[in-house]
Structure 1
Amino acid sequence: MRAIDLYAGIGGWSLGLRLAGVDVVASYEWWQAAVDTHNGNHGGALKATDVRQLRLEDLPSDIDLVVGSPPCTEFSYSNRGGGGDLEEGLKDLIRFLEIVDHLKPKFWALENVPRVAHVLRRGMSDPKHPLYRFRDLGMRIEVIDFSDYGTPQSRRRCIAGNIPFDLIASYRSRLPRRTLGDVIEAVACGDEVVDPVWGCRLSAAAVTERETEGALNAEELRMNREAKTYHPVYNNMAFPDAMDVPGRTVTATCTRVSRESIVIADGKGGFRRLSIRERACLQGFPITYQFYARSFPEKAKMVGNAIPPTFTYLVARAAQGASAEDLAPYSGAGSALRLPERSAPVTPPTTEGRTYPAGRSFRAALPGLRFKSGMRFELANGRGQQRDWQVRFFFGPSVDIREIELDQDLLRQLGSSPLIKKLMMTTGAAFATAELRLQETTPGALQAAWSHRAEGLRPFQVADLLGELAAEVHRRLEVVAIDDQHAVIGYVMAAAAEEEEGDTIPGSKKLATHAMAILSGLLVGAWFNTLPWHRRQKAVA
């Protein structure tokens, strides 16, 4: 079979197809680092090419299979929270389908993020949609998890085309399930490394990209743990990542603090992110594959953007009509893989941040005051550029988040209650102790510590301090309000109602369920926000 690869990236499509015996006669990619990597591993002489600018008459003829992965950035929910330019992303989908329509191959397949499945389905059903004119291409649209097909990573992607999907599905029973632990153990071998998927072997000294980052420092560790296990809106993630299941999706981002980063124990009592080689193996690239980029982040980006060659191998075999019984396992197809002639440059891993912008932003939920679905108390360093430290409370369903202003008016409103007056008397010593601790710093000094320009009390310590104070108030409230449960709910509802114009309070059931903790947070947050501490000298001596 003859194939062309559009939006080829670093060669994930080409590798799988060639291992199946398909002749990839042309590949097209615009990013130079990806082109270099494609050429280095496939022995080609590709030049950076913008697929949008290709002339249809210049394409090869007699093509049996067209494959490709148009850029997913504009469609990805990880890009600006899903706020990408969809019209811009559509241009590449249209271009891909124009080429398919022109070449009329026997088979074609397009890969992209799951969101594109909705775009394509709408395009095929809406006569006014720009994709509607391609409805006769025989498009079937599926969202597939590559971990079901022997890739050691849970990676859900939209696959659209006219390939034999049912035949590909029949391969699943023949493919072993690989895990994150399989990859970590294989790459760490000290003598000979056996590829955890493809079965090829190299001496440990010949395996590149095994350099690991230093362990996450205490601040990075806290931020990663918070983002994964205490996110106010999204589901919790395991921390560290579990070794007995396929790894989570390998992403293109490369920061040491990220909800999406895979974090594992480093065997020395700390935690680290993955090396480039570990990421590549999770993506289904063999240990022989080289990454010709100038930096660790650039290599991470090219690996995270790739399509696993494990799955592209299956697409090729299905296009060839191979039955499940005739399917050669990955270890059979890849056992003869060898290193390319030229090794990739060594690129030091990303190191922990030493300095940050003076206005570095901070935002963290207070321990004990996280209620999921967007409802939480959080400490943040201001709105705009002033970087004034404030506690804020958000409530309501995640699609309609509201805020209660934690200010002097709220303190006055709550303080008019005999119950609250009694509570504040019993907790006075705890508030005084907390205020003394805050006297160790100033708003400016706290910001300087957060931006690594000075030592001293740090924001997470303040968040913990306020969380502990709220927990103490909560304990005392449970005692003094044992017969006043309805009154506590009433105080919370009254505070929420101050922010609403109508009679309906969003999330009222959840407010009532957590009324004790919420009232404690309201008192602590309003107290903190109105402290004279905020008027202390903000400059760092």
Structure 2
Amino acid sequence: MTSSEPHQSILDKPFVLDLFAGPGGLDVAGHTHDIPSLGIEWDKNACLTRYAAGLDTLHADVSAVRRDYFESLPPEINVLAGGPPCQTYSVAGHGAGRQALEKVKKYIERLMAGDSDQDVDKKLATLPDPRTALVLEPLRYAIQATRSPRREHRPYDVIVLEQVPAVAPLWEHYAKVLKETGLPDGTKYEVVVGILDTETYGVPQTRSRAVLIARREGLGKPSLPGPTHRSYDAKEWNRMSGMSEPDRVHQPTLHDGTTESGSDPHLPLWRSMEYALAEPVGSHPGRRTPFLVRSNYGSSGNPGRRGVRTDRQPATTVTGRISRFVVFEPVDEKDENIVQEGPRFSMNEAGMLQSFPPDYPWSGRAQAQQVGNAVPPLFGAHLLSAALGLGKPDPEVLRKPWQPATTEQRAKLRSNGCGAADTCTDRCPRPEDQVPPPSSVRPRKGKKATPK
């Protein structure tokens, strides 16, 4: 990816290992920088999307790879990245992870003290929701790298992690032990942690993420990426909604030099859904008709970020329920309050609201869930830029249609990732082995499960 600023990566040849890689958000970010990556992903459908997109992938359980196949990973990998599953920490989930925060912090300390994997695994097995323990996998990979003969016991140079805001206390604890205690071999890192809003990096949706960027000592102190756009604030929008476009852009500032949202007034406004979807590109026909979107989801825990938005606003957080968002279009040009239901977002459009390139080849089933679970590529590009000392990314690169893999390329990628060119094999995770069971069959608090 090009940048208006001269830059030089702190690493000669960055190579990213993307844990819990999903359909490829961080990998797309890396590819726009010409940074190779290898993703590990459990979900078969997300892997089908990754193969179709031409992304190197292992269809595997992250924990199993660490335990049993770590030595098969390319030894030149020097950047560890990941966004562990967020369901147990998300405000939209059951909250098992939020309830176990203090326990997980203790497991972090035990790992850094050099406790054996077997002892830690026995303790982790007692957690009510096994997915809660997955937030420890990046740390366990960092430790395993220092124990790897094939890597000559070389630690990762850079670590980049992102999760829902509720995980921020764990990232802070990660930072504390990485800086003060160090890995069991003595390796220490300079670390920065923060909660960032994706719309302040040009992503056309409001989405808050807790991020951690770490660099091995000697590679310089990392910093969080600087924002490129103002943050979205519902009250500020209500005040601006009746203004003309020039007035909105040049809104008045407060005495301290900020806007009501706390943003730098010299930055441009956030990107809107109109910016992302209005113009035709690739197979996307364009949404030139103004529209309203109604959603009760995707608020990042902030009630002011849900409800109805116009195409001149950023989308609410794109979740796995994006296909349920109801889109309304005006019926009467003279009265914008008279509307009728229009076509809902296609998966291509949903991906574009996540900042995926147009025509990204969403494949398999549960595509809306894939889109919602992904790291927004433009946000990921800013994280990688900050982590590696690169200039700010050019968002226009991600607005060009994605070129999918050829049939032959897909077959080769799946052979490498699954063990066969056209199917999964015994080495792939089985959907029926995924734990815990779906929430629809879990008893709700205070109720007993119906005997079967």
Given the two structures, how large is their TM-score scaled by the length of structure 1? 0.48
Whether 2:351 is the aligned partner of 1:280: answer yes
Residue 317 of structure 2 corresponds to: 249
Selected match of 1:5 from 18, 27, 30? 18
Whether 2:47 is the aligned partner of 1:35: answer yes
Tell me the distance in 2 between the aligned counterparts of 1:252 and 1:70: 16
Tell me the distance in 2 between the aligned counterparts of 1:80 and 1:251: 16
Whether 2:403 is the aligned partner of 1:338: answer yes
Residue 59 of structure 2 corresponds to: 48
Report the Cα offset of residue 57 of structure 1. 2.6
Report the Cα offset of residue 300 of structure 1. 0.6
Residue 369 of structure 1 corresponds to: none
Secondary structure at 2:278 match in 1: helix
For 2:225, give the aligned amino acid. I
Secondary structure at 1:5 match in 2: strand
Give the number of the structure whose residues are more often helix, by fraction. Answer: 1
The verdict on how the C-alpha distance between 1:137 and 1:98 changes in structure 2, with shifts beyond 3 A counting, is farther
For 1:61, give the aligned amino acid. P
Task: Tell me if the contact between 2:89 and 2:167 (Cα under 8 Å) persists in the aligned partners.
Answer: yes
Task: Tell me if the contact between 1:288 and 1:340 (Cα under 8 Å) persists in the aligned partners.
Answer: no
The verdict on how the C-alpha distance between 1:339 and 1:35 changes in structure 2, with shifts beyond 3 A counting, is closer
Whether 2:159 is the aligned partner of 1:117: answer no
Whether 2:403 is the aligned partner of 1:310: answer no
Residue 22 of structure 1 corresponds to: 35
Tell me the distance in 1 between the aligned counterparts of 2:305 and 2:214: 35
Q: Which ranges of structure 2 fall in alignment gaps of 5 or more residues?
A: 1-13, 101-126, 146-154, 216-220, 230-265, 332-338, 411-445
User: 1:414-429 residue pairs with structure 2 within 5 A?
Assistant: none
Identical pairs, percent: 23
Residue 213 of structure 2 corresponds to: 161
Whether 2:68 is the aligned partner of 1:60: answer no
Tell me the distance in 2 between the aligned counterparts of 1:303 and 1:74: 19
Tell me the distance in 2 between the aligned counterparts of 1:292 and 1:40: 7
Task: Tell me if the contact between 1:276 and 1:300 (Cα under 8 Å) persists in the aligned partners.
Answer: yes
Tell me the distance in 2 between the aligned counterparts of 1:318 and 1:178: 21
The verdict on how the C-alpha distance between 1:79 and 1:175 changes in structure 2, with shifts beyond 3 A counting, is same
Tell me the distance in 2 between the aligned counterparts of 1:141 and 1:178: 25
User: 1:124-139 residue pairs with structure 2 within 5 A?
Assistant: 136-139=188-191
The verdict on how the C-alpha distance between 1:334 and 1:101 changes in structure 2, with shifts beyond 3 A counting, is farther
Can you list the C-alpha shifts for 1:111-157, whole angstroms capped at 9, x where unaligned? Answer: 11110102333566699xxx997994444221111110011111101
Task: Tell me if the contact between 1:22 and 1:316 (Cα under 8 Å) persists in the aligned partners.
Answer: no
Tell me the distance in 2 between the aligned counterparts of 1:307 and 1:331: 18
User: 1:366-515 residue pairs with structure 2 within 5 A?
Assistant: none
Whether 2:90 is the aligned partner of 1:76: answer yes
Tell me the distance in 2 between the aligned counterparts of 1:303 and 1:264: 18
Report the Cα offset of residue 288 of structure 1. 2.4
Tell me the distance in 2 between the aligned counterparts of 1:141 and 1:328: 21
Task: Tell me if the contact between 1:70 and 1:112 (Cα under 8 Å) persists in the aligned partners.
Answer: yes
Task: Tell me if the contact between 2:277 and 2:352 (Cα under 8 Å) persists in the aligned partners.
Answer: no
Report the Cα offset of residue 34 of structure 1. 0.4
Report the Cα offset of residue 77 of structure 1. 1.1
Whether 2:265 is the aligned partner of 1:265: answer no
Tell me the distance in 2 between the aligned counterparts of 1:321 and 1:60: 23
Identify the range of structure 1 (167-176 vs 267-276) with the bigger mean alpha-carbon deviation.
167-176
Selected match of 1:108 from 159, 165, 189? 159
Can you list the C-alpha shifts for 1:174-199, whole angstroms capped at 9, x where unaligned? Answer: 8873112223423xxxxxx23xxxxx
Report the Cα offset of residue 159 of structure 1. 0.8
The verdict on how the C-alpha distance between 1:175 and 1:126 changes in structure 2, with shifts beyond 3 A counting, is same
Selected match of 1:322 from 373, 384, 390? 390
Tell me the distance in 2 between the aligned counterparts of 1:277 and 1:340: 17
Residue 422 of structure 2 corresponds to: none
Secondary structure at 2:327 match in 1: strand
Selected match of 1:91 from 133, 141, 149? 133
The verdict on how the C-alpha distance between 1:132 and 1:2 changes in structure 2, with shifts beyond 3 A counting, is closer
Report the Cα offset of residue 20 of structure 1. 0.5
Residue 204 of structure 2 corresponds to: 152
The verdict on how the C-alpha distance between 1:81 and 1:90 changes in structure 2, with shifts beyond 3 A counting, is closer
Residue 10 of structure 2 corresponds to: none
Task: Tell me if the contact between 2:355 and 2:378 (Cα under 8 Å) persists in the aligned partners.
Answer: yes
Tell me the distance in 2 between the aligned counterparts of 1:254 and 1:312: 20
The verdict on how the C-alpha distance between 1:116 and 1:239 changes in structure 2, with shifts beyond 3 A counting, is closer
Secondary structure at 1:240 match in 2: strand
Report the Cα offset of residue 309 of structure 1. 0.7
- Higher RCO, Cα 8 Å, sep 6+: 2
Tell me the distance in 1 between the aligned counterparts of 2:86 and 2:374: 11
Can you list the C-alpha shifts for 1:59-112, whole angstroms capped at 9, x where unaligned? Answer: 321322111111111111101367777443442122211112333222110111
Residue 428 of structure 2 corresponds to: none
Tell me the distance in 2 between the aligned counterparts of 1:384 and 1:159: 36
Which of 1 and 2 has greater Rg?
A: 1
Tell me the distance in 2 between the aligned counterparts of 1:125 and 1:166: 16
Q: Which ranges of structure 1 fall in alignment gaps of 5 or more residues?
A: 187-192, 195-201, 257-261, 345-382, 386-541
Report the Cα offset of residue 271 of structure 1. 3.4
Secondary structure at 2:308 match in 1: coil
The verdict on how the C-alpha distance between 1:330 and 1:255 changes in structure 2, with shifts beyond 3 A counting, is closer
The verdict on how the C-alpha distance between 1:82 and 1:278 changes in structure 2, with shifts beyond 3 A counting, is farther
Selected match of 2:274 from 181, 199, 202? 181
Tell me the distance in 2 between the aligned counterparts of 1:85 and 1:384: 19
The verdict on how the C-alpha distance between 1:3 and 1:160 changes in structure 2, with shifts beyond 3 A counting, is same
The verdict on how the C-alpha distance between 1:59 and 1:80 changes in structure 2, with shifts beyond 3 A counting, is same
Can you list the C-alpha shifts for 1:36-58, whole angstroms capped at 9, x where unaligned? Answer: 111110254x3420010113333
